Amino acid sequence: MSTADDIAKAAELLAAATRPVGFTGAGVSAESGIPTFRGAGGLWEQFRIEDVATPEAFERNPRMVWEFYNLRRRAVFQAQPNAAHTAFARLEEIFPAFVLITQNVDRLHQRAGSRRVIELHGNLCETRCTNCGRVDDKSGVELGDLPRCEACGGLLRPAVVWFGEPLPPGAWAQAEEAANRADCMIVVGTSAQVYPAAGLVAMAKRHGAAILEINLEPTPVTPLADVSIFGRAAEILPAVVDRAEWMLQSGRGSRVP
Ligand code: BV8
Ligand code: ZN
Residue nearest to atom 19 of ligand 1 (CA): 194
Q: How confident is the model at residue 94 (pLDDT cuts 50, 70, 90)?
A: very high
Q: How far is the CA of 130 from the centre of ligand 2 (A)?
A: 7
pLDDT of amino acid 256: 55
CB 83 less than 6 A from any atom of ligand 1: no
106-120 mean pLDDT: 98
Query: Could you count the other beta carbons within 10 Å of the beta carbon of residue 245?
Result: 19
Closest listed residue to residue 57, CA positions, set 143, 154, 195, 160: 160
Which ligand 1 atom sits closest to the C-alpha of 52?
A: 44
Rounded CA-CA distance 245/228 in Å is 20
Strands 99-102 and 117-119: parallel
Q: Note whether 200 and 227 are within 8 A (CB).
A: no
Checking if the pLDDT of 40 tops 90, the result is no
Residue type, 173: A
Rounded CA-CA distance 117/130 in Å is 26
Q: How far is the CA of 252 from the centre of ligand 1 (A)?
A: 37
Q: Structure pTM? A: 0.96
121 belongs to the catalytic site: yes
CB 222 less than 6 A from any atom of ligand 1: no
pLDDT of amino acid 179: 98
Q: How confident is the model at residue 2 (pLDDT cuts 50, 70, 90)?
A: confident
Per-residue pLDDT tens digits for 171-192: 999 999 999 999 999 999 999 9
Checking if the pLDDT of 214 tops 60, the result is yes
Q: Which of 24, 28, 34, 36 to mutate to test the pocket of ligand 1 (most atoms within 8 A of CB)?
A: 36
Residue nearest to atom 36 of ligand 1 (CA): 163
Closest listed residue to residue 204, CA positions, set 225, 184, 227: 184
111-125 mean pLDDT: 98
Checking if the pLDDT of 223 tops 70, the result is yes
Which ligand 1 atom sits closest to the C-alpha of 27?
A: 65
Checking if the pLDDT of 212 tops 70, the result is yes
pLDDT of amino acid 41: 84
Which ligand 1 atom sits closest to the C-alpha of 122?
A: 2
Residue nearest to atom 23 of ligand 1 (CA): 195
pLDDT of amino acid 75: 96
59: Cβ–Cβ under 8 A, 6 or more apart, which residues?
Answer: none
pLDDT of amino acid 1: 73
CB 25 less than 6 A from any atom of ligand 1: yes
pLDDT of amino acid 253: 66
Checking if the pLDDT of 221 tops 60, the result is yes
Checking if the pLDDT of 100 tops 80, the result is yes
In three-state form (DSSP H/G/I as H, E/B as E, the rest C), the secondary structure along 87-116 is: HHHHHHHHCCCCEEEECCCCCHHHHCCCCC
CB 201 less than 6 A from any atom of ligand 1: no
Rounded CA-CA distance 56/224 in Å is 35
Give the ligand whose atoms come closest to the C-alpha of residue 151.
2
pLDDT of amino acid 254: 59
% of the chain beyond a pLDDT of 70: 98
Per-residue pLDDT tens digits for 199-211: 999 999 999 999 9
53-67 mean pLDDT: 97
pLDDT of amino acid 251: 82
